[in-house]
Amino acid sequence: MSTKTVHKGLTGVVVDTTGISMVNPETNSLTYRGYPVQDLAAHCRFEEVAHLLWHGELPTPAQLAEQNAVERAHRELPADLVSTLLHLPATAHPMDTLRTAVSILGANDPHEDENSPEANHAKALRLFGALPSIVALTQRRRRGLLPLPPRLDLGFAENFLAMTFGAVPEPEVVRAFEISLVLYAEHSFNASTFTSRVVTSTLSDLYSAITAAIGALKGPLHGGANEAVMAAFEEIGTADRAQEWVARALAAKRTIMGFGHRVYKNGDSRVPTMRAALRTVAELRDGQRLLDLYESLAGAVFAAKGLHPNLDYPAGPAYHLMGFDTPVFTPIFVAARITGWTAHITEQLAANSLIRPSSLYTGSAQREFIA
Ligand SMILES: CC(=O)SCCNC(=O)CCNC(=O)[C@H](O)C(C)(C)COP(=O)(O)OP(=O)(O)OC[C@H]1O[C@@H](n2cnc3c(N)ncnc32)[C@H](O)[C@@H]1OP(=O)(O)O
Ligand SMILES: O=C([O-])CC(=O)C(=O)O
């Protein structure tokens, strides 16, 4: 009889230390490098939060200007990348397009295999600048529109939206979008970040770690839930149908996307901030019907199962009201989480140990081979 204990799903297993963020389920709080995420969302540009995650401190004006200059220089996508992306089927999932794009950027980077902190920071900035352009291209292509050039006079969030929709929207919508980026930026050892650390631990390259992380984020139990939330809203239709829909879904043992969390059991610390951002967008974009459905479904799920919403629940409808197609929601999450992923890759390399857990064998006993 084995004395090994199986930690299914690694629940509760502490696999390493991190100085990047702290998720505290007891107090329902999340801090990035010590700062409460709500304060960062209220007061910081997303670029400042990116600097904080990468360097441990908020930037001085000079540091921010320097980082912005590099990020903006990467917004223009290489022509061969654009041409390859335009050859992918127009029906490809935008997460597949994004994963392919990162892979191509890696293959074209002569410094791909350099793993010094400086080389990897340069790659992080390259992806930080390029990802919104790839997401915008993908969204426009879905609507039969040509890609737009980047706007180098604009900040990260404004440029992202202008490249997608052709103009900068109302300042309140830009702020709501930027708040979502700050909230999505980092969340300790979630599945995609852990994936990036596993790949990094083999001393593979940053682009390989990020393509793997994108694959992990795509699943509906993780980042893909923000898309699945919209599918549920469409299925339910109106607020008055939510309770009956929940009863049927739970009776059929369906998972209700956008609810529950591996770490937070009493509510996701980011939800109130994102819910307020959703409300702002809903007021500007005729979203009362969606808001009613949001509240009614949340109430019905809590009443039936005691589950709280996670960040994907308010983010999905907010992106919908901003004008994004549902399959583009998780790619936006990627454009934000690239900051957290790359901070973790650097942290992993600074004190690396190959990540290779053990397993408890339950297959056939050893037997004789007969040729
Ligand atoms: C940004 C993010 O990635 S946040 C996460 C996004 N993912 C989702 O929204 C997907 C829906 N949620 C889920 O599938 C789960 O809550 C997870 C995967 C996020 C967390 O899973 P776990 O930590 O394994 O869940 P946990 O052990 O707490 O589940 C307890 C019970 O609640 C149930 N449960 C948890 N979440 C849900 C849900 N969304 N719908 C229905 N039942 C659920 C589980 O089936 C389990 O039921 P049981 O005791 O009868 O078997
Ligand atoms: O922490 C998790 O398991 C998932 C999550 O909320 C995130 O990655 O933002």
HEC string of 97-133 equals HHHHHHHHHHHCCCCCCCCCHHHHHHHHHHHHHHHHH
CA-nearest residue for atom 7, ligand 2, is 187
C-beta separation of 176 from 161 below 8 A: no
For ligand 1, the distance from its centroid to the CA atom of residue 100, given in whole angstroms, is 29
Distance in angstroms (rounded) separating the CA atoms of residues 345 and 120: 8
Residues of the chain within CATH 1.10.230.10 domain(s) are 225-321
Contact 342, 208 (CB under 8 A): no
Whether the pLDDT of residue 1 is over 70: the answer is no
Q: Which fold has domain 225-321?
A: Cytochrome p450-Terp; domain 2 (1.10.230)
Q: 18-221+325-350, which class in CATH? A: mainly alpha
pLDDT score recorded for residue 4: 87
pLDDT score, position 3: 81
d(CA 17, CA 353): 12
Closest CA to 305 of 349, 236, 246, 263: 246
In contact, 47 and 64? CB cutoff 8 Å: yes
Within 13 Å and on the Cβ side, how many CA atoms surround 133? 24
> What is the percentage of the chain residues whose pLDDT exceeds 90?
97
pLDDT for residue 286 is more than 80: yes
Q: Which residue has the tokens 């019907």?
A: 289
Residue 186 Cα: closest atom of ligand 2: 9
Q: Which of 261, 308, 320, 344 is labelled catalytic?
A: 261
Mean pLDDT of the 220-246 span: 97
Distance CA(82)–CA(68), nearest Å, equals 23
Q: Is 133 left (phi over 0), alpha (psi -120 to 50) or beta?
A: alpha
Q: What atom of ligand 2 comes closest to residue 191's alpha carbon?
A: 3
Secondary structure of residue 284 in the 3-state scheme: helix
| Mean pLDDT across 196-206 | 98
Average pLDDT, the chain: 97
Q: Taking the mean position of all CA atoms in its chain, how far away is CA 143?
A: 23
Query: To the nearest 10°, the Cα dihedral for 331, 337, 339, 341?
Result: -110
pLDDT at 169 over 70: yes
Centre of ligand 2 to C-alpha 351, Å, is 23
List the residue whose alpha carbon is closest to atom 49 of ligand 1. Answer: 305
Confidence category of residue 279, pLDDT binned at 50, 70, 90: very high
Q: Any residues with Cβ below 6 Å from ligand 2, and which?
A: 187, 190, 262-263, 310-311
Distance, CA of 96 to CA of 168 (rounded, Å): 27
Give residue 2's pLDDT band: very low, low, confident or very high (50, 70, 90). confident
Residue 331 has pLDDT above 80, yes or no: yes
pTM value is 0.98
pLDDT bin (cut points 50, 70, 90) of residue 136 is: very high
- The answer on pLDDT for 120 being more than 70 is yes
CA pair distance 223, 229, nearest whole angstrom = 11
Q: Is residue 312 annotated as a catalytic residue, yes or no?
A: yes
Reduced to 3 states (helix: H, G, I; strand: E, B; else coil), residue 279 is: helix
Q: What region does 36 belong to: left with phi over 0, alpha with psi -120 to 50, or beta?
A: beta
Residues with CB under 6 A from ligand 1: 9, 221-223, 225, 255-262, 305, 307, 310-312
Task: Give the whole-angstrom CA distance, residue 188 versus residue 31.
Answer: 10
246 has a pLDDT exceeding 90: yes
Contact call for residues 279 and 291 (beta carbons, < 8 A):
yes
Closest ligand 2 atom to residue 311 Cα is: 6
Question: Catalytic one among 51, 74, 312, 344?
Answer: 312
Distance (Å) of CA 334 to CA 13, 210, 260, 298: 25, 9, 21, 25
Comparing 1-10, 152-161, 185-194, 216-225, the range with the smallest average pLDDT is 1-10
Taking CA atoms only, the protein residue closest to ligand 2 atom 3 is 190
Using 50, 70 and 90 to split pLDDT, how confident is the model at 300? Answer: very high
Q: Where in the chain is the domain with CATH 1.10.580.10?
A: 18-221+325-350
Residue nearest to atom 6 of ligand 1 (CA): 222
Question: Cβ distance 217 to 336 under 8 Å?
Answer: no
Does the pLDDT value for residue 191 go beyond 70?
yes
In the annotation, is 325 catalytic?
no
- β partners of residue 36: 31
